[in-house]
Amino acid sequence: MSEKQYDSVLVGYAEEPRYSDDGQLMSWNVRFKDNELTEMVQKYATQRNEQGQGGNLYVTLFMSKNGKACCRVFDPNSAAAKEKRAQKAAGQQDGGDLPF
């Protein structure tokens, strides 16, 4: 059985969420240290193309299975992300003759 590959890594410290009086999730804070931000930009920023597009960090806030607030950043260099890009490129090549 193969181990599941992830395209993101956990980052920062996500504080407990704040809820409204009627129990609706309102917001929560994420805290990053300055060295964590520098590392995130160096490791996880997307590549820039010739037009200067790219250089983005994709951060996702989510609740874990056990109800804890978490934060993750997309890692474009991960094995899972590279595999997804390869599958997408192969799909575009195979279906290139479709009219839609």
Question: Can you tell me the mean pLDDT for 31-56?
Answer: 93
Asked if 28 and 69 touch (Cβ cutoff 8 Å), the reply is yes
Percent of the chain with pLDDT over 70: 90
For residue 51, pLDDT beyond 80: yes
pLDDT digits (tens, 9 = 90+) for 59-89: 999 988 998 899 999 999 888 888 888 888 8
pTM of the model as a whole: 0.73
- Of these ranges, 2-11, 45-54, 87-96, the one predicted with the greatest mean pLDDT is 45-54
Q: Which residue has the higher pLDDT, 92 or 43?
A: 43
| Residue burial 70-94, b: 16+ Cβ < 10 Å; e: rest | bbbbbbbebeebeeeeeeeeeeeee
